[in-house]
Structure 1
């Protein structure tokens, strides 16, 4: 009978430990779910910022390219008019 009582006490102790571990696992699971939600939100923010930066970079590149193209064309026109003007004076 003593052996049965001892085993019963051990089973009760193990049951209590399992209950405690189960509670800890539930708490950890809740924390992981919360962290996962935060990571998803941060990922969405980073994606939005990345899109904004890409759009801004595209705008800046186009603006710089257009500005360089305008300057080149302006310089070309100055040269052409300069040559035409010099020929007119030489006549």
Structure 2
């Protein structure tokens, strides 16, 4: 299956501050703590947070369908605060 997912969230924080969290690996550490009912764990498979980095994302126990997915960062634009990732294994449960 092919598709895309985009999410926009408005905040009063400066973009540079948000990018400090989202632009690298810190978001993967925080997301399971902030929304454990959505993602239970995010593990670094390879890379340093830059293009080519692969993460293994796990859904919480009891989630129907795929239990995990792997995503690979394919674009990181620190000037325009853009990160693109490609799901290379597994997928989302909708």
Short-chain TM bin? under 0.3
Q: Which has the higher contact order (CA 8 A, sep 6+)?
A: 2
Bigger fraction of residues in strand = 2
